[in-house]
Structure 1
């Protein structure tokens, strides 16, 4: 049985970032539950103000918005792993750092080659998420325990969890992409895989991948990131499930279907 172990980097910058993560964990679920991040089907081009007026949001095509979100973190992870760690810390790149890089490369490739988009993304939201992801990549790459100091079970467990999570996430993204033809971009009730049980199995597998990164990181920063992602994706899966229930008939989408974890949540 895997028993995760956690080390704590006591550098003041890292501790300050950990405090920032704790605040994010506390607020991410409630923030996302109340106001879903405006991308994908939750994108809105205008916002109603208290005085009754509307503010128009600057939007970009969804594919461009997703690249804005993921590419900076990809570049940051590669730069830290390949250049900055050997230069600044005189140390070798870490397993967790390469897993972070692989995660965002996968996301970039999915945006370019797999996903089929029809909507738009709020530009400011894309920039904000991009900053958070880039900062996450930077910190995990920098603070993760060197591979030579990890127990072999932590390396193998972390990599195995990441591979399982990434493949499961990719498979369910593939199922979603199959639902939409190149000419028709309407929403269809997802089916196949764990979509028979939950609204967002791709989120569940993404969290398994982040768990693998946390185990390989062997640092508090990685586990706090996992908790933050869990809160955020839990709320977003709930929003997704509610959207499906309103969009599709009971036959297409039963009211009993869970959000993210089969039979549980």
Structure 2
């Protein structure tokens, strides 16, 4: 049997009154007991403090201890004290993604098919509006399917209230704003913005669609590469190689931004450009942080000439 003292990290926890406590894990040693076992015992004592809400750390290190690590590998010896922090209500990343992407899938059809309700009159949709509708719907349907059947998440949950921030990004900017813009009378087949311009040229629209399809397929390929690196139910990380990864660490982000760039150029919509800028900034920040983590974790093994997100640039 192995014992660990669990104390609050900072002020007393409302859901864990009675800390510190001594957690005992029977029939295991520091070589076989895991951080997850400690969390399970804490949850047994305080049922509302389920494992996903818990962050355990060493007294002299604020970094979270990984559930899958044994106590020995985590640097915890028999009888040692670890600190417990309540992360608050949690929700699974998979659920968050499903909710994020369902917004545009509902919003775009409502605005596209109910122009009298939205604009006060009927709208004869131009070809560019029709292409945009198809591309947006296919993109988010793909994202939903990837969430259900492809993605394997390194972190199981996130704070519950983050769902409103994350969903707002997609529901408002790529949902309401984009749809309201490109299905409006300003984009109708008789609009001066469309008539006798390249936006009603079938060759231009087909070229845009072809580049968009290339970006979407390439993005899916990158997601499959990342999936195949991580066995189900693990947080294993390996260096990705293959299509796209020879140039950048996050080709999935690059190809997604390429797809949205096509939509922005094709429509000329301010809403499309605003969403592109927001998504580009957000994903670039994520990519830079994750790229640094790759280099820190794998050191000299990580390809030194590999850029972060934009080939040959960053």
TM-score (norm 1): 0.72
* Partner deviation per Cα, 1:97-144 (whole Å, 9 max, x = no partner): 332222211110100111123522232222211112011211111111
Query: For 1:18-41, what per-residue CA distance to the aligned partner results, in whole angstroms no more than 9, with x for missing partners?
Result: xxxxxxxxxxxxxxxxxxxxxxxx
Relative to its length, the structure with more helix (as a share) is 1
Whole-angstrom CA distance in 2 between matches of 1:72 and 1:132: 10
**Aligned equivalent of 2:164, options 127, 151, 155:** 127
Q: Confirm or deny: 8 A CA contact 1:157 1:215 kept in the other structure.
A: no
Question: 1:230 and 2:280 equivalent?
Answer: yes
Deviation, 1:232, is 1.6
**Matched residue count:** 216
Bigger shift: residues 148-157 or 174-183: 148-157
1:141 aligns with 2:191: no
Q: Check conservation: 2:287, 2:308, Cα contact below 8 A.
A: yes
Which of 134, 137, 144 is 1:101 aligned to? Answer: 137
Q: Distance in 2 between matches of 1:116 and 1:216?
A: 33
Cα offset for 1:162? 1.8
CA contact (8 A) 1:140 1:222 kept: yes
- 3-state DSSP class of the match of 1:60? strand
Deviations 1:38-80 (A, max 9, x none): xxxxx9976x9xxxx9662322222112212222222222322
Question: In structure 1, which of residues 61, 71, 79 is the aligned counterpart of residue 110 of structure 2?
Answer: 79
> Residues 116-265 of structure 1 correspond to what in structure 2 (within 5 A)?
116-119=152-155, 120-136=157-173, 137-144=175-182, 146=187, 148=189, 149=194, 150-152=199-201, 153-251=203-301, 253-265=302-314
Equivalent pair of 2:230/2:236 in contact (CA under 8 Å)? yes
CA 1:243–1:261: 2 relative to 1, 3 Å: same
Q: Which has the larger radius of gyration?
A: 2
Q: For 1:112 and 1:96, how far apart are their aligned partners in 2?
A: 24
Cα separation, 2, equivalents of 1:54 and 1:184: 23
- Greater percentage in strand: 2
Q: CA RMSD in A?
A: 2.6
Runs (4+) of structure 1 exceeding 6 A deviation are: 43-46
Post-superposition Cα deviations, 1:141-176, rounded to whole Å, max 9, x if no partner, equal 111153632331542243223212111111101111
**Structure 2: distance between partners of 1:60 and 1:179:** 25
Superposed CA deviations along residues 223-245 of structure 1, whole A, max 9, x for unmatched, are 22222222221111111101111
Contact 2:151–2:227 (Cα < 8 Å) also in 1: yes
Cα deviation code 1:194-231 (max 9, x no counterpart): 21221111111001110121123222221222222222
If asked which structure has higher relative contact order (CA below 8 Å, sep 6+), I would say 1
8 Å CA contact 1:207–1:226 kept in 2: the answer is yes
